[in-house]
Structure 1
Amino acid sequence: MKDELITQILKNEIVKALGCTEVGLIGHTVAKAKPKDPYSIEKITLILDKGTFKNAFSVGVPNTGKFGIIPAVVGGLLGKKENGLEVFKDIKYDENLEDYIKNRLKIEVIDSDVYCKAIIKADKIYESETKGSHSGKSISSELKNTYKTLKLKDFIEYIEDIPEDIVNIIKQTIEVNKNLSTPELPKDFMKLNLKDDILNHMIKKTTSAVYNRMIGMNKPAMAIAGSGNMGLTATLPIIAYDEITENDKEKLIKALTLSALTTIYSAYHSSYISAMCGCVNRGGIGAVSGLSYYIFGENRIEESIKSFTANLPGIVCDGGKIGCALKIASGVFSIYLSLFSNVPYNNGIVGKNFEECIKNIGKIANAMSPVDDVIIEILKNKNL
């Protein structure tokens, strides 16, 4: 029963997404509600949760050459609802349609979990709603709460005999996320050439993928717990480490599965989107778990998580944007540093074990909720 639950969670929480999952959420929701003729639209009301508004505000939208919420809406009007979170796949952007729509679009921001509703007034009222998760396929609260009671040892036991369908998902994740890491991010954005070859490769591989995704490159990512950047952070440091060291595919698959499990576990203890940067904190916890397992086996995972807990939790999420690549660079350095550090239990929010560390970070993430209001106020007041 426990293994069945874990398998179900993984299948639901590891999904392919093209572009930032929040613009994908907007585009897909609009695509589900659009009339046949977009030029018949008189008004579009878009209702978004705070996190979706924040993360879609400045991020690139694939196949549009644009950034932000308006091209996500237009992309949704041009895309196919059947493509889900890859709604922008194969679209040909229409500048005239953007000009037509932008003065007919009204955006409302509400306090909610992941939520997007599109109300389109044309020849009649068209409505569509996505809630609970970016894909709309939600795990029940009962199953989430059961998953939250699991221990690190349950995840370790699971990865020793991974079901074949999950192995295939992880193999797809390796292929998709590696593909997004090329080309390398431009040197005029970030110049980095560390003498530590392993760390240098880990940072470049991960930050390049995040940068490419944030500018709206037409390549998908395998998102974990609702976030593509979280999926990239949880996987690419481990993939990069494997490339430059052992090239042990069996160990890599186990490490990545553990990373996904602990990333999801961390998300369930806070939320899919929060005022705390989930990519660094939740994805970082996943990468620390997986890397520690890859290098040391199961013996040092808790010590590594304690060290990570003592370092970066609390880093603010101010929305999806190319600057996320810099935060991820800091995150990867912290991930690597935590593998070789020891921080005792009496330090700050460090827990006595893996589970307590995650719960403490989650408590802080939840307490930071009012910070989102300030960030959204800043974004709304930008003169772009």
Structure 2
Amino acid sequence: MAITLKGFLRREVRPALGCTEPGAVALSVARACEELSDREHVAAVRVTVSSSIYKNGMAVGIPGANGAKGNPLAAALGALVGKSAYGLEVLKDTTEADVERARAWVDEERVSVVCDPGRTGVYVLSAVFTPSHKAVCLVSGSHDRVAKVMLDGQVVYEDQEISAHSGSSCGDDELPESYADVFAMLEQMDLEDQEFLLRGVEMNMAVAEVGLSGDGRSLGMGRCIMDASNGDLGLRIRATATAAADSRMWGVQMPVMSSAGSGNHGITAILPVAILGDELGCSREQIARALALSHLSTSFVKRRLGRLSPVCGCSVAAGAGAAAGMCLLLGGDVQRVQSAMEMVLANLAGMLCDGAKESCALKVGTGSHEAYLAARMAASGLSLCKPQGVLSCAFEASVENVAKVNQDGMRDVDKVIIGILDRSFAGLGGGV
């Protein structure tokens, strides 16, 4: 049975605090610790992660840590202050004192995070040790899916829902196979959905405003672009999206609304659509409808790429989603919407994911800006001749082609990137 729009939004569009990869690490450790009556006496935390989680958590800021980075710090904070009931906002209670304690744990080598090169997608296996107990938690399939919890070798919890595709989401596999059927899901939107979608705009815009403010909680990339925009709408979209991702990658302690399991996907899928809708004077319902299409379209591409992938899903999947939503606002029908998405896919299909970190903001900005230009072109009636490059005559086949390039053509990319990162961090004395 195909998923409803309401069910899709509930599963694929959620608040997330900080990068979702170290967030998954913190969640796994926190959930394991919650099985321990003597949580204050944790002696060691040992975490094994997939290559994707390892790569994306090495150099990204942790929420509330004043720019401090890395999976080990996230694991330590998960043990010290994490609450699994918060989901991907697991570290929202973090204080400066907690960060100092977590840094000490990392320095004392009480925490280790190692990569299992045979694992891809979302996979985090945490083992937490006290003098008398061992608790284990596995997060897999999606960033907030606790698959199994064990205490002293006994299973205390196990989720029976298994994703059909390793590393993909547990929800978006139920989207229709035909994009026309996905597009038709917009007719299911009600007032509750509308208000939820618009709340995502408020959340992500608030984080963007931090990046544009120059208050030190970002590198200031978005602000520089805004200063150079001279009122150009495309550059304003790029600047705002860049600023939001910049603050988020720095580790600002504010949630964003995610899409398809990623906060940066959510920034790309939401902010360009909202800014264009405001510029056009669209109603709240029209903007919400376009946001729904952006999220649906992002997941339509993402389900084929995989939850975590060698290519940049923020620009490829969420960029295509944003193009769809903006084209709809500009009066495009389903054919023109598909043309807009195809332009993004043809343009950005090879953009590399080299881990989550500050420069992701540049890619979020690129995806957002190119999505705006693609929507403009498609809404005016322009479309690419097909077949060409990765594009086939059928839209769905084009998306599959991009996925094939990602899965087969870039099979060893993560291994190469991790090797580069390991050598780089070794040169810094073990990390940042």
Alignment of 1:101-250 (within 5 A): 101-102=106-107, 103-110=109-116, 111-123=119-131, 124-136=133-145, 140-141=163-164, 147=174, 149-185=176-212, 186=214, 189=221, 191-192=224-225, 193-195=228-230, 197-250=232-285
In structure 2, the residue matched to 1:304 is 340
Q: Distance in 1 between matches of 2:417 and 2:20?
A: 19
Q: TM-score, normalised by structure 2?
A: 0.83
Cα 1:293–1:354 shift into 2, 3 Å:
farther
Q: Distance in 2 between matches of 1:76 and 1:156?
A: 39
Q: How far did residue 278 of structure 1 move? A: 0.5
- 2:405 alignment partner AA: I
SS of structure 2 residue aligned to 1:381: helix
- Whether 2:43 is the aligned partner of 1:42: answer yes
Identity percentage of aligned residues: 28
Q: How far did residue 19 of structure 1 move? A: 0.5
Q: Distance in 1 between matches of 2:267 and 2:173?
A: 26
Aligned match of 2:372 in 326, 336, 339? 336
Cα 1:196–1:363 shift into 2, 3 Å:
farther
Q: How far did residue 212 of structure 1 move? A: 0.9
2:47 touches 2:126 (CA, 8 Å); kept in 1?
A: yes
- Whether 2:91 is the aligned partner of 1:88: answer yes
Aligned match of 1:346 in 368, 384, 387? 387
Q: Distance in 2 between matches of 1:39 and 1:84?
A: 22
SS of structure 2 residue aligned to 1:329: helix
Deviates more, 1:33-42 or 1:204-213: 33-42
Q: How far did residue 55 of structure 1 move? A: 1.0
Cα 1:11–1:100 shift into 2, 3 Å:
closer
1:144 touches 1:268 (CA, 8 Å); kept in 2?
A: no
Q: Distance in 2 between matches of 1:304 and 1:139?
A: 33
Aligned match of 1:365 in 406, 410, 417? 406
Q: Distance in 1 between matches of 2:402 and 2:362?
A: 21
Cα 1:118–1:12 shift into 2, 3 Å:
same
Deviation string for 1:206-260 (max 9, x for gaps)?
1111111111111101111110000110111101111222242111111110111
Cα 1:212–1:97 shift into 2, 3 Å:
closer
Q: How far did residue 157 of structure 1 move? A: 1.9
1:12 touches 1:139 (CA, 8 Å); kept in 2?
A: no
- 2:18 alignment partner AA: G
In structure 2, list runs of 5 or more residues that go unmatched.
Answer: 147-160
1:306 touches 1:353 (CA, 8 Å); kept in 2?
A: no
Deviates more, 1:20-29 or 1:75-84: 75-84
- 1:62 alignment partner AA: P
Q: Distance in 1 between matches of 2:317 and 2:369?
A: 15
- Work out the number of aligned pairs and report it: 383
In structure 1, list runs of 5 or more residues that go unmatched.
Answer: none
Q: Distance in 2 between matches of 1:216 and 1:98?
A: 15
Q: Distance in 2 between matches of 1:122 and 1:17?
A: 30
